[in-house]
């Protein structure tokens, strides 16, 4: 493209003209900048996913635990309590789907609650095993019912006073620590909170068969 | 060495941009010239907001509405971004019309700028297609029914109509493939064509130079203004004012998302404002006062001849207009025709708006005492009042008003492109068994009534209305609004019921 000579630019004009033009040039850039800034905020903001805004569920949804299940848990101190609950999980904009799961609730003694971190190096010492929420809330810990070995549902054995998985014999203590067997890590605690008088938990499925905790799904 | 020099040596970009910006504006910079750049600004706003919407929107019947709803309620600033995109579309088309008008009045389409103008008209068509295709994407009631009308308009074109309708819909009727097609057009093909045409438009603009004021003198003799920064400052100022208006409208009046599209339900669609005039033409062509024999020709005029003719005339304008003068006082024909076209377009748009409002009121007032209810909602004597005066009162009118008027209209006018009229409908006044069968068992698929194509869904009333009610309603429609055919008895209906 040949650079041509435009008439209007030949005469630089008076210093007044020049400073006025400088002002117009600056003002034009400022106007452009203002428009850009005003747009950047909502546009960049729209990219923030819900999981960053509400990190306490690690991206899942809160489900309410049935009152009688929680009552049982609050009263029982000698053994974990199995609590079944239903919830709706939603993936983005799709209509919510129904799901039913059960969890193992454990009421810890104040001593157990204090020593929980020490008892569970698989959560707190392994950087890849960590969870983004508190495992112990109000002295309760709620465990996912999925065995971290290969995904079976394990059970509480009262006589042996431990969780035992029927599939390959992994054994876990009341605090979820691995006692024996092929499981690569201890039991997975789930997000737990009290809201408006009801107990709520977030169902998270972690990938089984490895020491690291990687979220696979919320159903 | 400065940064600019470094970039210039390696890319030549600085020189090109400087070249683009340091241009003469014959007669000096003016606020009259801001419409082109304002349209460009609106276009960029649409592209930018559109990109961010594609991070969440998913085109399919299972996800179009759901993902739009998600943007509205779950995405931070989601409703605001959709609002910007909605009002930005209105702004872009309004500014485009202003830009066209200013160019036309200033005679800036005359030699050597004819190709500039032709590209501009193509840009207008592409922008209108963008508006049309974008309208469907939320897949709510209004999106569905408005697009249904648009596709049916396309299908009424002779010879190629049916193929066109199937090509647009991706099938026989509107469904998930339609959404995908419109999405592909709206997000990929049309923006690509738009950007290419705009690039061409701007390149040729630089080659021809600014047209300047509407005078017949040699442009080079006029005092020259500077494009940068004087004209660009005015452009920027106009852009930020328009941006402010769009932002305020977006906050104060975000577009509503109706419930998800349901083809079996009744809904009076509202086309985008820039299509109201075309819709008004369609209404006039389908008016019951038009004799049935002339209706196909009237429809053809409304949908193909007049709009197509207008676009063709616009494209050929620089070649048809032999008047070498750019001065307005020496171009009475252009002034007159432009003014007339504007008056007709605005008049048709207003006519459309009022018609739609009437029907929405009549449709919602179609329960119980129809005339009273309709009068209460519109406050004027509604078209339903005429029906009460003309037809016999009683059961037939009551059933019709409650169950049929919602789609077919209180005066049996139907809704162009969606629900067929009953007035002057030879199927209605023909053999009674056919009418009874349709009312009892419903009807889907494409039909042609009085030259107009309809592709809606007539629900089955068997079980929802008693045989006596059906007989009364059918007798009513066969003897109303100029229809003159025999009544139908409850026994006649029972015979068709298996």
Q: What is the mean pLDDT of residues B40-47?
A: 98
Q: In a mutagenesis test of the B interface, which of A2, A28, A41 is the best target, namely the one with the most B β-carbons within 10 Å?
A: A28
pLDDT per residue as tens digits for the range B191-222: 999 999 999 999 999 999 999 999 998 988 99
Rounded to a whole number, what is the distance in angstroms from the first to the last CA of chain B?
Answer: 93
Report residue B464's pLDDT band, with 50, 70 and 90 as the boundaries: confident
pLDDT, residue A200, reads: 93
Q: State the burial class of residue A41 (Cβ atoms within 10 Å of its Cβ: 0-12, 13-18, 19+).
A: exposed
**Chain A residue with minimum CA distance to B65:** A93
Residues shown for chain B? 498
d(CA A82, CA A59): 24
Report residue B323's pLDDT band, with 50, 70 and 90 as the boundaries: very high
**Chain A residue with minimum CA distance to B52:** A43
Backbone angles phi, psi at B403, to 5 degrees: -110, -25
d(CA B330, CA B332): 6
- Tell me which residue in B66, B78, B233 faces A27 most closely, judged by beta carbons: B233
Instruction: Report CA B380 to chain centroid distance, whole Å.
Output: 27
- Tell me which residue in A1, A6, A28 faces B236 most closely, judged by beta carbons: A28
List, in order, residues 6 or more apart from B230 with CB less than 8 Å away.
Answer: A21, A24, B25, B28, B29
Name the minimum distance, in Å, from the CA of B145 to any CA of chain A: 23
pLDDT, residue B363, reads: 64
List, in order, residues 6 or more apart from B336 with CB less than 8 Å away.
Answer: none
- Tell me which residue in B77, B226, B229 faces A46 most closely, judged by beta carbons: B77
The per-residue pLDDT of chain B, averaged, comes to 88
What ranges make up the beta strands (E) of B307-373?
Answer: none
Q: What is the mean pLDDT of residues B78-106?
A: 97
Neighbours of B16 (CB within 10 A): 13
Please spell the DSSP secondary structure of B411-425, one letter per residue.
Answer: TS--BTTTB---TT-
Q: State the burial class of residue A32 (Cβ atoms within 10 Å of its Cβ: 0-12, 13-18, 19+).
A: middle
Asked if A178 contacts A165 with a C-beta cutoff of 8 angstroms, the reply is no
pLDDT per residue as tens digits for the range B133-162: 999 999 999 999 999 988 888 887 778 888
Q: What is the residue whose two structure tokens read 């018609």?
A: B355
pLDDT, averaged in runs of 10, over chain A (219 residues): 68 91 96 96 93 73 90 87 91 89 94 93 93 92 96 94 95 95 95 91 94 91
The answer to whether A31 contacts B237, with C-beta atoms less than 8 Å apart, is yes
The answer to whether A31 contacts B236, with C-beta atoms less than 8 Å apart, is yes
The answer to whether B15 contacts A3, with C-beta atoms less than 8 Å apart, is yes
pLDDT, residue B359, reads: 81
pLDDT, residue B483, reads: 85
pLDDT per residue as tens digits for the range B401-414: 778 887 888 778 88
Report residue B391's pLDDT band, with 50, 70 and 90 as the boundaries: very low
Asked if A143 contacts A187 with a C-beta cutoff of 8 angstroms, the reply is yes
Report residue B380's pLDDT band, with 50, 70 and 90 as the boundaries: very low
Instruction: Report CA B1 to chain centroid distance, whole Å.
Output: 55
Beta strands A171-172 and A162-164, pairing class: antiparallel
- For residue A206, list its beta bridge partners: A215
């Amino acid at each position: 493209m040949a650079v041509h000579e435009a008439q209007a630019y030949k005469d630089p004009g008076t210093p007044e003209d020049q400073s006025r033009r400088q002002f117009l040039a600056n003002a034009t850039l400022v106007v452009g900048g203002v428009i850009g800034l005003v747009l950047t905020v909502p546009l960049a903001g729209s990219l923030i996913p819900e999981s960053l805004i509400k990190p306490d569920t690690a991206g899942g949804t809160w489900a309410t635990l049935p009152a009688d299940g929680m009552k049982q848990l609050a009263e029982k101190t000698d053994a974990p309590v199995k609590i079944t609950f239903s919830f709706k999980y939603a993936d983005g904009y799709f209509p919510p789907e129904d799901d039913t799961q059960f969890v193992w609730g454990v009421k810890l003694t104040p001593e157990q609650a204090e020593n929980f971190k020490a008892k569970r190096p698989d959560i707190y010492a392994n950087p890849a095993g960590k969870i983004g929420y508190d495992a112990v809330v109000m002295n309760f810990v709620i465990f996912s019912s999925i065995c971290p070995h290969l995904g079976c549902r394990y059970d509480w054995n009262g006589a042996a006073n431990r969780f035992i998985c029927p599939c390959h014999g992994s054994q876990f203590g009341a605090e979820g620590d691995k006692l024996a067997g092929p499981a690569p890590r201890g039991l997975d605690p789930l997000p737990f909170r009290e809201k408006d008088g009801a107990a709520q938990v977030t169902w998270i499925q972690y990938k089984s068969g490895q020491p690291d905790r990687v979220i696979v799904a919320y159903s | 060495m400065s940064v600019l020099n470094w970039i210039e040596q390696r890319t030549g970009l600085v020189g090109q941009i400087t070249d683009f910006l340091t241009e003469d504006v014959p007669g000096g910079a003016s606020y009259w010239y801001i419409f082109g750049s304002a349209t460009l600004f609106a276009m960029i706003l649409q592209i930018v907001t559109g990109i961010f919407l594609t991070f969440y929107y998913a085109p399919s019947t299972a996800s179009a509405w759901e993902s739009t709803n998600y943007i509205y309620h779950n995405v931070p600033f989601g409703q605001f971004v959709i609002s910007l995109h909605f009002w930005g579309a209105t702004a872009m088309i309004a500014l485009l019309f202003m830009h066209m008008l200013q160019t036309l009045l200033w005679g800036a389409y005359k030699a050597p700028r004819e190709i500039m103008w032709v590209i501009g008209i193509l840009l207008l068509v592409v922008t209108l297609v963008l508006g049309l295709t974008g309208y469907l994407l939320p897949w709510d009631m209004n999106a569905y029914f408005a697009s249904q009308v648009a596709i049916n308009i396309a299908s009424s074109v002779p010879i190629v109509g049916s193929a066109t309708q199937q090509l647009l819909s991706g099938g026989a009727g509107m469904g998930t493939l339609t959404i995908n097609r419109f999405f592909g057009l709206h997000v990929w093909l049309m923006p690509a064509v738009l950007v290419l045409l705009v690039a061409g438009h701007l390149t040729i603009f630089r080659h021809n130079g600014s047209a300047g004021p509407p005078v017949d003198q040699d442009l080079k003799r006029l005092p020259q203004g500077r494009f940068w920064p004087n004209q660009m400052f005015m452009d920027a100022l106009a852009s930020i004012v328009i941006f402010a208006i769009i932002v305020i409208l977006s906050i104060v009046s975000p577009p509503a998302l109706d419930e998800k599209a349901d083809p079996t339900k009744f809904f009076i669609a509202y086309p985008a404002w820039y299509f109201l005039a075309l819709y008004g033409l369609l209404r006039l062509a389908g008016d019951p006062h038009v004799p049935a024999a002339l209706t196909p020709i009237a429809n053809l005029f409304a949908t193909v001849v007049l709009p197509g003719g207008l676009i063709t005339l616009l494209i050929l304008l620089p070649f048809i207009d032999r008047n070498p003068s750019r001065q307005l006082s020496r171009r009475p024909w252009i002034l007159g025709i432009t003014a007339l076209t504007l008056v007709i377009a605005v008049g048709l748009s207003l006519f459309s708006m009022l018609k739609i409002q009437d029907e929405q009121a009549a449709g919602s007032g179609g329960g119980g005492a129809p005339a009273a209810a309709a009068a209460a909602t519109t406050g004027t004597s509604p078209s339903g009042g005429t029906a009460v005066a003309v037809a016999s009162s009683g059961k037939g009118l009551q059933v019709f008003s409650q169950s049929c008027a919602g789609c077919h209209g209180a005066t049996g006018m139907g809704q162009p492109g969606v629900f067929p009229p009953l007035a002057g409908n030879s199927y209605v006044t023909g053999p009674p068994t056919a009418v009874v069968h349709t009312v009892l068992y419903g009807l889907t698929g494409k039909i042609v009534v009085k030259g107009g194509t309809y592709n809606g869904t007539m629900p089955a009333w068997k079980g929802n209305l008693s045989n006596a009610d059906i007989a009364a309603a059918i007798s009513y429609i066969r003897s109303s609004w100029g229809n003159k055919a025999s009544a139908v008895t409850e026994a006649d209906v029972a015979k068709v019921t298996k």
